[in-house]
């Protein structure tokens, strides 16, 4: 099956500063991909490269097997809702639906109408007078109604209240099941990602730190707690992701495919938030053997 997103040595530089570099991804179709990382990590840059709004400085990127935004057919396959959920301030809600129907070959008019009615967005309401959250709901509805093969959402739920966030993520999940499309969404809200994502990318300092299916990542990462131990004394197949020590105790987050038999360690499983935080931990980490791991 054609990957939804494939990059090789992908990089983007603004002036002298790399916003994204050495990015290698190969994401199969059919996933809801969570993209997470601190402010300024390069998430929006990656999403804009994927939608053809930015050109790479280095490397290559292919989306659904094609060059981003290269042809009308490619544009029709990819939906994008930007971080600031832009809408046309002078147009009404109904105008947006008419425009969507005219511009998108697979437009789902019934779904868009039904969803906006349920959300209480009146057709004659000017978009410029909507609240931030209502504007986001309009933009997200347009993204869903486009019925793309890949929907890219840059912090889609940031301006929504908790109930609206839950409703949107539920609708997104139902739509992916019903219409079998892929989603890439960035968010700082790991609990939201935990609810909907089955594939994770962690970006920090302009680089992909980890990428892979959530189940596999959770099965291969563990927290080890026990008597203080130097990282050099860990088995070679245990790759240190993060480490912290007190005088007597060490705590490691490691990645390994092998079972852990050492009785000195208390081994605990991680949840998605633990995993993300371990990769985002920027404390100096002595003998860190691996800080970049990409899995399919």
Ligand X SMILES: Nc1ncnc2c1ncn2[C@@H]1O[C@H](COP(=O)(O)OP(=O)(O)OP(=O)(O)O)[C@@H](O)[C@H]1O
Instruction: Give me the residues that bind ligand X (CB under 6 A), please.
Output: 14, 19, 37, 39-45
Instruction: Please identify which residue in the block is written with the tokens 């994502």.
Output: 197
Distance, C-alpha 97 to centroid of its chain: 27
Residue closer to ligand X by CB (options 20, 121) is 20
Residue 42: C-alpha distances to residues 59, 203, 204 (Å): 16, 7, 8
Q: Which is nearer to ligand X, 57 or 251 (CB)?
A: 57
Q: How far is the CB of 14 from ligand X (least distance, A)?
A: 3
CA angle 8, 9, 12 (to 5 degrees): 115
Contacts of 88 (CB under 8 A, 6+ apart): 95, 96, 99, 127
252 in Cβ contact with 243 (< 8 Å): yes
Shortest reach from residue 135's CB to ligand X, in Å: 18
* 196-to-166, 192, 218, 276, 277 alpha-carbon distances in Å: 10, 7, 15, 15, 18
Token pair in block for residue 55 = 């050109």
Distance in Å, CB of 188 to ligand X, minimum? 7
Q: How far is the CB of 151 from ligand X (least distance, A)?
A: 18
* Distance in Å, CB of 205 to ligand X, minimum: 10
* Nearest distance from C-beta of residue 206 to ligand X, angstroms: 7
Tell me whether residue 26 or residue 205 sits nearer to ligand X (CB atom).
205
Question: For residues 41 and 150, which CB has a smaller minimum distance to ligand X in the complex?
Answer: 41
Report the residue number, 92 or 206, with the smaller CB distance to ligand X: 206
CB of residue 59 to ligand X, shortest distance in Å? 16
Return the number of the residue (45 or 85) whose C-beta is nearest ligand X: 45
82 or 241, CB closer to ligand X? 82
CB of 88 to ligand X, least distance (A): 23
**Nearer CB in complex with ligand X: 209/239:** 209
């Amino acid at each position: 099956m054609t990957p939804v997103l494939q990059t090789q040595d992908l990089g983007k530089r603004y002036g002298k500063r790399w916003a994204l570099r050495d990015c290698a991804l190969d994401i199969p179709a059919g996933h809801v991909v969570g993209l997470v990382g601190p402010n300024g990590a390069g998430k929006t840059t990656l999403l804009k490269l994927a939608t053809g709004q930015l050109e790479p400085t280095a490397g290559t990127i292919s989306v659904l097997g094609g060059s981003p935004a290269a042809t009308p057919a490619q544009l029709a396959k990819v939906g994008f809702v930007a971080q600031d959920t832009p809408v046309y301030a002078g147009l009404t809600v109904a105008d947006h639906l008419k425009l969507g129907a005219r511009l998108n070959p697979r437009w789902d008019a019934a779904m868009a109408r039904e969803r906006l009615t349920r959300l209480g967005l009146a057709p004659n309401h000017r978009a410029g007078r909507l609240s931030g959250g209502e504007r986001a709901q309009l933009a997200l509805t347009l993204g869903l109604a486009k019925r793309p093969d890949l929907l890219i959402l840059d912090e889609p739920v940031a301006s929504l209240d908790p109930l609206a966030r839950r409703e949107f993520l539920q609708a997104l999940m139902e739509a992916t099941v019903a219409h079998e499309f892929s989603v890439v969404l960035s968010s700082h809200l790991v609990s939201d990602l935990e609810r909907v994502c089955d594939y994770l990318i962690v970006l920090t300092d302009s680089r992909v730190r980890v990428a892979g299916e959530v189940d596999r990542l959770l099965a291969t990462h563990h927290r080890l707690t026990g008597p203080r131990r130097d990282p050099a004394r860990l088995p070679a197949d245990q790759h240190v992701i993060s480490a912290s020590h007190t005088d007597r105790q060490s705590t490691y987050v490691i990645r390994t495919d092998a079972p852990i038999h050492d009785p000195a360690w208390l081994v605990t499983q991680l949840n998605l938030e633990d995993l993300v935080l371990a990769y985002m931990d920027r404390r100096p980490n002595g003998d860190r053997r691996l800080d970049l791991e990409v899995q399919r």
